[in-house]
């Protein structure tokens, strides 16, 4: 059995910070409401002239540097995003060109907040099958450009950023013990971008007037309950697949959608909150990029110790959910 490892991680957060107090200035909301309902105090906003591939480029270069590899060594780039530079070509192709990964093939994965786990799953399976050797798994989003800044129940949640990992067959680095992904298309209408695809005329005066190009959350409090169950189930699945229980796990790095979802998940799993890595207060929800950003942060700030058992888990629009167990 091949040993698949994450040999480098990287992330990039834009410098510009938008606090809840900044949002108070143009929206009928308060810092108090946002913080107590979501756990978010501030989020990052991409530079005006930056596209998702620009954020991903910096995160990827940092991951390659940590891994000690060059752009030419990468033979596959999988970009998880719901905010690609363009829908055609894939966002991954713009990234490939910017990184000068001339020996790589590249494509996008669309799985909303679970995107990084879907991309990691693919990388793991392709390397195990012998199809690829060094895979750049990257997730990046500019969510602040696709939210409707007039929809107060959802726009306050999102932020921008990118995270990356280099995955390869290796005796070193964090071992990928297993990956698990799931979808439920019947729930797709709860978090979606209704316009921009073949269902409607991609862009028209009418679609723009109706705001169909914005991310839409329908009955967000219902998806809250589903999220708690799926998150907890995904964590348990990752542990059980490797003969462990959740109490054997040293750290859970979950997608960060709402602190109350994570508190409810911790309660359901019967784990203390200090076993759950948090970035929500400072970055909000960066969809697919949240998990790899948190992973990179935990790797670099010393939270992750050698041999730690780490669960990555996510739930998001689609519906999608997934997990992975790593031995650090
Ligand atoms: O990535 C996973 C995908 N899913 C999600 O991330 C969604 C998860 N859901 C959530 O995070 C929460 O449901 C929200 C944060 C979106 C909303 O929190 P909530 O506790 O479910 O609030 P609510 O929608 O039930 O609204 C409660 C009240 C309402 O007022 P009334 O009807 O009680 O008078 C809203 O109008 O809060 C009001 N409200 C706001 N007030 C101030 C909604 N948004 C705001 C706001 N500021 N931004």
- DSSP per-residue codes, 5-27: EEEEEEEE--SEEEEHHHHHTTS
Average of per-residue pLDDT values in the chain: 96
Picking from 141, 158, 173, the residue at the C-terminal end of a domain is 173
- In the block, tokens 């799993």 appear at 269
CA angle 74, 80, 82 (to 5 degrees): 145
CA–CA gap between residue 278 and residue 284 (Å, rounded): 10
Same domain, 104 and 202: no
**Among protein residues, the one whose CA lies closest to atom 36 of ligand 1:** 153
Antiparallel, parallel or unpaired: β 134-142 and 191-192: unpaired
As for how many domains the chain has, the answer is 2
Residues contacting 130, CB < 8 A, separation 6+: none
Using 70 as the pLDDT threshold, list the residues of the chain that sit under it.
Answer: none
**Collapsed DSSP state (helix, strand, coil) of residue 54:** helix
Contact 196, 216 (CB under 8 A): no
**Quick check: 122 and 102 in contact, CB under 8 A?**
no
Residue 173 has what pLDDT? 84
Q: Exposed, middle or buried by CB within 10 Å (0-12, 13-18, 19+), for 200?
A: middle
Tell me, what's the pLDDT at 169? Answer: 96
Q: 87 catalytic, yes or no?
A: no
The pLDDT, as a whole number, for residue 223 is 81
Q: Are residues 231 and 305 in the same domain?
A: yes
How many A from CA of 20 to the centre of ligand 1?
A: 15
The pLDDT value given to residue 244: 98
Probe target for ligand 1 pocket from 153, 184, 190, with the most ligand atoms within 8 Å of CB: 153
The confidence score (pLDDT) of residue 198 equals: 87
| Ligand 1 center from residue 288 Cα (angstroms) | 21
Residue range 270-296, pLDDT digits in tens: 999 999 999 999 999 999 999 999 999
Query: In terms of domains, do 214 and 195 share one?
Result: yes
Q: What is the per-residue pLDDT across 6-53, written as a single tens digit (0 to 9) for each?
A: 999 999 999 999 999 999 999 999 999 999 999 999 999 999 999 999
- Domain check: are 36 and 163 in the same one? yes
pLDDT at 256: 97
Q: Is 224 touching ligand 1 by the criterion CB < 6 Å?
A: yes
Query: What number of CA atoms fall less than 13 Å from residue 20's CA on the CB side?
Result: 19
Q: Which of 121, 180, 182, 255 is catalytic?
A: 255
Q: What is the dihedral of CA 235, 218, 38, 236, to 10 degrees?
A: -10
- Report the distance separating Cα 288 and Cα 203, nearest Å: 25
255 is catalytic: yes
Catalytic-role residue among 101, 113, 155, 235: 113
pLDDT of residue 200: 83
Closest residue to atom 2 of ligand 1, CA basis: 316
Q: Can you give the pLDDT at residue 196? A: 86
- Same domain membership, residue 129 and residue 167: yes
Note whether 158 and 182 are same-domain residues. no
- The 3-state secondary structure of 76-104 reads EEEEECCCCCCCCCCHHHHHHHHHCCCCC
| Catalytic residue list contains 285 | yes
- Are 84 and 181 in the same domain? no
Range of the domain at 152: 4-173
Which one of 126, 154, 173 terminates a domain? 173
Same domain, 235 and 309: yes
Helix (H) or strand (E) holding 58: helix 52-67
Rounded to whole angstroms, the Cα distance separating 129 from 127 reads 5
What does the pLDDT read at residue 136?
Answer: 98
User: Percentage of residues in the chain with pLDDT exceeding 70?
Assistant: 100
Mark whether 212 and 282 lie in a shared domain: yes
CATH number for 116? 3.40.47.10
Q: Tell if the pTM clears 0.85, that is, is over it.
A: yes
Mark which of 103, 138, 173 sits at the end of a domain.
173
Mapped onto helix, strand or coil, the DSSP state of residue 210 is coil
Does residue 260 line the site of ligand 1, with CB under 6 A?
no
Same structural domain for residues 242 and 278?
Answer: yes
State whether 269 and 289 are in the same domain. yes
Q: 146 and 67, same structural domain?
A: yes
């Amino acid at each position: 059995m091949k040993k698949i490892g994450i040999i480098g991680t990287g992330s990039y957060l834009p410098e510009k910070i938008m606090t809840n107090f900044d949002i108070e200035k143009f929206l009928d909301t308060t810092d108090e409401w946002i913080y107590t309902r979501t756990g978010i105090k501030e989020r990052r906003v991409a530079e005006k002239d930056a596209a998702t591939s620009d954020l991903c480029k910096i995160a990827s270069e940092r991951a390659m540097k940590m891994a000690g590899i060059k752009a030419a060594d990468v033979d596959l780039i999988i970009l998880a995003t719901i905010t690609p530079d363009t829908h055609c070509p894939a966002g991954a192709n713009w990234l490939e060109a910017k990184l000068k990964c001339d020996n790589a093939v590249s494509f996008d994965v669309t799985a909303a907040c679970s995107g990084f786990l879907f991309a990691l799953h693919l990388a793991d399976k392709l390397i195990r099958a012998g199809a690829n050797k060094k895979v750049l798994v990257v997730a990046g989003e500019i969510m602040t450009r696709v939210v409707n800044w007039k929809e107060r129940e959802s726009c306050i949640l999102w932020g921008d950023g990118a995270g990356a990992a280099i995955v390869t067959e290796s005796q070193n680095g964090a071992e990928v013990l297993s990956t698990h992904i799931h979808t439920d298309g019947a729930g797709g209408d709860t978090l979606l971008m209704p316009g921009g695809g073949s269902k409607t005329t991609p862009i028209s005066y009418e679609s723009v007037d109706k705001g169909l190009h914005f991310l839409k959350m329908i009955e967000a409090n219902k998806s809250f309950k589903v999220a708690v169950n799926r998150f907890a189930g995904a964590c348990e699945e990752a542990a059980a697949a490797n003969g462990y229980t959740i109490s054997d796990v040293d750290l859970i790095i979950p997608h960060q959608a709402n602190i109350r979802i994570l508190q409810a998940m911790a309660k359901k799993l019967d784990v203390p909150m200090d076993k759950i890595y948090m970035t929500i207060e400072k970055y909000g929800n960066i969809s697919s990029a949240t998990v790899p950003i948190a992973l990179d942060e935990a790797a670099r700030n010393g939270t992750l110790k050698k041999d730690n058992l780490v669960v990555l888990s996510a739930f998001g629009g689609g519906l999608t959910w997934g997990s992975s167990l790593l031995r650090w």
